[in-house]
Amino acid sequence: MPGLQLRGVAKSFRNTEVLAGVDLDVAPREFIAFLGPSGSGKSTLLRIIAGLETADAGELILDDRRIDGLPPGERGVAMVFQAYALYPHMSVRENMAFGLRNAKVPQAQIDTLVDDAARVLEIEPLLDRKPAQLSGGQRQRVAIGRAIVKRPRLFLLDEPLSNLDAALRLRTRVEIAQLREKVDSAFIMVTHDQAEAMTLADRIVVFNDRRIQQVAAPMEIYARPANRFVAQFVGSPAMTIIPATLAEGGPNASVVLGDGTRVETAVHRDSLPTGEKVELGLRPEHVRVADDGGASTQATVELVERLGERSLVYARLKDGSAVTAEDSGTTVVRTGNQVALAINGEAAHLFGQDGTGFHRPAA
């Protein structure tokens, strides 16, 4: 099968398990983002694919060829490092050609490959400069160019934008999105930045506690998180999670919060596990500051975060439960105010005692 297949990949460092039997399929030309907290195993898995670490168990198959026993240079992959890893005494052209020369590629072919990569990345005027004469964004493009010249089947990007300032990060994100349309390769990118993952990836792989928690398209991850961890890790600010009790009602689940507020959800009651205790999940955009006539409950404001076009209101219900709500950018709400909140129960999520997510039926 073309593409990359990981089967049962496991890794430990001494007595510390880092990856616990990871399975994953990556299609040809697909862009995958590995997203998760530090220590979740995502960077280790990237290094195992690259051949910089050895798996304790499992198989790696790229385009129908098993590669986990091959040295890095024979795997058909190319890695772009967070720190660029350019040779300071070499020109841009020499940096991009270095790996090809080591592989004994004929000079005429090297020149063609370097010129083609420079044209794709729009760095042709930089070919005779040294790394010290380049900006951070230019150095990153050179590092990507050094990978492109190898014509890999798979690009591995290790936090490629983390060393750039905000403006350069946005610009380089656009350049990476354009690059993937110009090369016939798959991409796997490790990132801590949710915006990068949501913008660039066809699918996001969320890691935590040595395992994959969910693999899905960006908006599927956001709208239908597999469990409580994914729900709170993806999205900024994090989803509000409030303890609740199932109440009697119709085919859709109704829950009662600690302050007595009743929320009618669109989650099918028969999809939930047995037991009364659940947790209610609410994205900030599904809780609005309202007038008393449209209110679901009351809360005390602890902080107002003004973001221009909208404001985020961090508040507590009467029972002490924290909740994040939205208001307009011109809100008059202040810290200490009592506010009415309108909860959109149709958009609410429920989580079982084991953290499993339950959502309204897909449209």
- DSSP string for residues in 216-232: E-HHHHHHS-SBHHHHH
Between the CA of residue 142 and those of 89, 123, 208, what are the distances in Å? 14, 8, 32
Q: Alpha-carbon distance 217 to 225, whole Å?
A: 11
Q: Alpha-carbon distance 126 to 92, whole Å?
A: 7
> Which pLDDT score is estimated for 332?
93
Identity at 148, one-letter amino acid code: I
In order of start, what are the domains of the chain with their CATH numbers? Answer: 4-226 (3.40.50.300), 240-358 (2.40.50.140)
- At 107-149, the pLDDT tens digits run 999 999 999 888 888 889 999 999 999 888 788 888 888 888 8
> Which pLDDT score is estimated for 145?
86
The angle that helices 166-180 and 107-121 make with each other, rounded to 10 degrees, is 120
- At 266-291, the pLDDT tens digits run 999 999 888 789 999 999 999 999 97
Q: Alpha-carbon distance 134 to 93, whole Å?
A: 13
pLDDT band with cut points at 50, 70 and 90 for residue 187 = very high
Checking if the pLDDT of 150 tops 90, the result is no
- Helix, strand or coil for residue 346? helix
Is residue 171 within 8 Å of 15, Cβ to Cβ?
A: no
Provide, rounded to the nearest whole percent, the portion of the chain with pLDDT above 90: 65
pLDDT band with cut points at 50, 70 and 90 for residue 1 = low
- At 195-243, the pLDDT tens digits run 889 999 999 999 998 899 999 999 999 999 999 999 999 999 999 999 9
Helices and strands counted in the chain (H then E): 8, 21
Checking if the pLDDT of 171 tops 90, the result is no
Q: Which pTM does this prediction carry?
A: 0.89
> Which pLDDT score is estimated for 328?
94
67-71, 73-77, 351-355: range with lowest mean pLDDT = 73-77
> Which pLDDT score is estimated for 355?
94
- Helix, strand or coil for residue 62? strand
